[in-house]
Amino acid sequence: MGSGIGRLFRVTTFGESHGGGLGAVIEGCPPGVELDMAEIQRELDRRRPGQSALVTQRKEPDQVEILSGVFEGQTLGSPIGLMVRNKDADSTSYAPFKDKFRPSHADFTTEAKYGVRNWAGGGRASARETVARVAAGAIAKQVLRAQFGVEIRAWVTAVGNIEANAVPDVVSLEAVEANPMRCPDPAAAEAMEARVREVRKAGDTIGGVIEAAAYRMPAGLGDPVFDKLEADLAKALMSLPAAKGFESGSGFSGTRMLGSEHNDVFEPDESGGVRTRTNRSGGIQGGISNGMPVTVRVAFKPVATIFKSQDTVDSDGDATTIKPRGRHDPCVVPRAVPMVEAMMALVILDHALRQRAQRG
C-alpha cells in the first residue's frame, strides 16, 4: 500500500481531510533523542491553514498530540504515534458536486481505482493529508540536526513568471519567514504577493516553484542503483499534492551547458577534506551525497479548485458543469515550504541511518 515511506526510519500516515483527524506512526526513530515539542508545533503552524490572507481560511489549530514513543521529552525507540484532529471541516461545500468529477482533481481517478471515494474534501488526495507528514518530518529534522548536523531549508523561488533573484547562498529560517510568501528575496516576494492577490480576486489560482537545500550533509548517503539519493528525493517530493516537476542540482538548465562548464572540480577544504568548487551536481554524484549541500527544486501546479464555471461529467458519464465553492488556496507554494522540508528530512534521515548501519 502507498501510505508509508522509508526503510529504517519508516513513516506511515493515516486520515482524511474531513474525517476525525490525521496522523502518523514513526518506526525506527533512534532512542534517547531530546525532542523540542514546541518546534514540532511551530512546523505545523507554518503549514496550517488560515495563517494569512494568501491561503485557505479554514480555521484549524492543528495541535499535535504525541500518543506514544516519547517519555519525558525523549524518544524511546518504540513507535511514535502522532495525531492532529480536524476541528473545522465543512463538508456542505462539497455536497453539490459529490456526483460530479472536479477537473484536475483525484475524483475520477480515485473512483476508477477503488469504485468508491470520500467526496468530502478530497479524502486522502487532499493536501490536508500533509499535516501528518509535516509532524513526522519535524521529528526527523530534529534527529538529523542532533545526530548528523544536517539542516534543511526550503523557500519559494517562483510564482507564475515572477522569480526570486537576490537569494543568499545559505538561506536562513528568518529570511524565509520574513514575509507570507516565504520568499527570501523581499522585492520578488512583494511582487508574488500582489500577483496571488490578483489571481485570488479573479477566482483563479496560480502555481510556483520551491527550492530547497540540505546543509552540512555527510558524504556517502544514497544506495545505487535503484535507491539513489536523488531518486528517493524525487519520489518523496513528487508524492506531495500538486507537485508536477522535480530537479536536482542544475536540473534541466544543465542541458544547456558543456561538460567542461558543468563539471564540479574537486579541491581541498579548510578542514582537510575535499569539496567541489561549484555545486551543479546538487550535492549528489552517482546517486550518492558528496558532502556539498543537496539542492532540489519542486514545481507545483495551480490549485485545481477555481471559482469559475467549468465543463465536466458526472458519475454516470453525462455532461454537466461545475462551479466549486469553499475554502481553498489560490497558490499552494507558501504552505508547501514546510512540506518540502519534511519530505527531504524523512528521506535524508532514512539514508543517514542506513549508512550508519552499514559503515558504523
Q: Residue 130 is placed in which grid cell?
A: 500533509
pLDDT, residue 89, reads: 64
pLDDT, residue 312, reads: 94
- In this structure, the dihedral spanned by the alpha carbons of residues 200, 96, 243 and 22, taken in order and rounded to 10 degrees, is 110
pLDDT, residue 11, reads: 98
The DSSP letter of residue 290 is B
- Asked if 156 and 208 touch (Cβ cutoff 8 Å), the reply is yes
pLDDT, residue 41, reads: 96
pLDDT, residue 19, reads: 86
- Asked if 349 and 144 touch (Cβ cutoff 8 Å), the reply is yes
pLDDT, residue 91, reads: 72
pLDDT, residue 87, reads: 82
- Count structural domains, the chain: 1
pLDDT, residue 57, reads: 61
pLDDT, residue 96, reads: 80
| Rounded Cα distance, 150 and 287, in Å | 18
Structural domain span for residue 39: 4-359
pLDDT, residue 1, reads: 64
Reading across the β-sheet that carries 4-5, which strands appear in turn?
Answer: 4-5, 10-15, 21-27, 80-85, 64-68
Q: What is the CATH number of the domain that holds 94?
A: 3.60.150.10
For each successive 10 residues of the chain (360 residues), what is the average pLDDT? 93 92 97 97 90 68 95 98 86 81 92 89 87 97 98 98 95 97 98 96 96 98 97 98 98 97 95 94 98 98 92 94 81 97 98 94
pLDDT, residue 44, reads: 96
